Amino acid sequence: MSDLNTEIKSSSSSGSLARVIVTTSGKGGVGKTTSTANIAAALAKFGKKVVAVDADVGLRNLDVIMGLENRVVYNFIDVIEGTCKLNQALVKDKRVQGLYLLPAAQTRTKDAVNPEQMVDLCNQLKPEFDFIFLDCPAGIEGGFRNAAAGADEALVVTTPEIPAVRDADRIIGMLESMGKSPIRLIINRLRPNMVQDGDMLAKDDILDVLSIDLIGVVPEDENVIRATNNGEPMTMTLDSPAAQAYLNIAERLLGHDVPLMDLESYASRGLISKIKKFFSRKRH
C-alpha cells in the first residue's frame, strides 16, 4: 500500500487540473463502460495520467472490463463516507503507466451518494490527474445526475438505433441545461454494410438529429466482446477497427486533428480476412 501511496502522490503530468468528462447515453447497453475503459487506457498509453471512476453504484462493471476486479478492496463510497483514504481506493493498472480505476460499490444503491459529494470527490482527484472519466449509469435519474454533477465535459454514446438516438437527445438536453460543455458524440457499433443497405441510421442522420460535435465513430467489432471477457481494454494491445477508433477518439480529446476512419474499407478488409480464414480452414 505504501508504494501505491507514493505513486499516486505524484501530480498530473501537465501540472494543471484534470479535465473531468462524464460518459453517458441515457439508454443502457450502448457501450458507455467499454468506451470509458478504452479511451482511458488509450490516453494513458499517450502518457497522460487518467482515472476511470465507476459512477454506476450497485451495478459496477468497469472493474471487470478493465480486468481489475480482483484488486478492488475499497470503493469511492468508502472514500466519501471516510472509511478509507482516496489513495487506498484507487486501483493502479500495472499494464499501462498512469491508468487508475476508482471502483463503485456493488452492495449499495445510487442513493448512497449525492451530487455535492461527487463534486467533492472530483475536486480531490483533479490535482492528481490529467483526465477523470466518470462512467455514468443508464437512465436520467439520480445516478445520472450524480455522475454529471462532477463533470465539466461530456461524451454521449449512442448506437445507430432510433431508441438510443432519442435517449441520447434527451440526455444532451439535460446536459446542456446543466451547463456542461463541450458535449461530444460517440457513435458506437456502426455497421457500414447495414448503413449502405439502408437498414441502419447513417452517421449524418444521427448528427442531423442530435446537432452536437462528433468525436468518433466506432464500428461493430467482435474483438470488443473478446476484450470485454478477457478484461483487457482493446486500446492496450489489440489491433482492431474498434481499438483504432478509440485511439483516434483519445487523440481528438487531446486536441489532435485526426480524420474519421474509412469504415467501408475496414468492413471490406474484414470480409477479405473472413474469406481467407474460410479457405485456410478448408486447406487444413
Residue ranges binding other proteins (CB under 8 A): 140, 162, 166-167, 169-170, 172-174, 176, 179, 181, 208-209, 211
Which residue's CB is nearer to other proteins, number 120 or number 205? 205
CB of 140 to other proteins, least distance (A): 8
Which residue's CB is nearer to other proteins, number 6 or number 181? 181
Which residue's CB is nearer to other proteins, number 199 or number 208? 208
CB of 209 to other proteins, least distance (A): 6
Bridge partner residues of 190 (DSSP): 219
CB of 105 to other proteins, least distance (A): 29
Burial class (CB in 10 A: 0-12, 13-18, 19+), 259: exposed
Cα–Cα distance between 135 and 21 in angstroms, integer?
9
Which residue's CB is nearer to other proteins, number 170 or number 256? 170
CB of 244 to other proteins, least distance (A): 30
Which residue's CB is nearer to other proteins, number 85 or number 166? 166
CB of 174 to other proteins, least distance (A): 8
Cα–Cα distance between 134 and 245 in angstroms, integer?
20
Cα–Cα distance between 132 and 254 in angstroms, integer?
13
Euclidean distance between the first and final Cα of the chain, in Å?
Answer: 52
CB of 147 to other proteins, least distance (A): 18
CB of 270 to other proteins, least distance (A): 32
Which residue's CB is nearer to other proteins, number 29 or number 173? 173
The torsion angles phi and psi of 220, rounded to 5 degrees, stand at -60, 135
Cα–Cα distance between 35 and 58 in angstroms, integer?
20
Bridge partner residues of 135 (DSSP): 23, 54
Q: What is the dihedral of CA 4, 9, 11, 13, to 10 degrees?
A: -30
CB of 156 to other proteins, least distance (A): 12
- Are 180 and 49 within 8 A, CB to CB? no
Which residue's CB is nearer to other proteins, number 65 or number 148? 148
Which residue's CB is nearer to other proteins, number 167 or number 232? 167
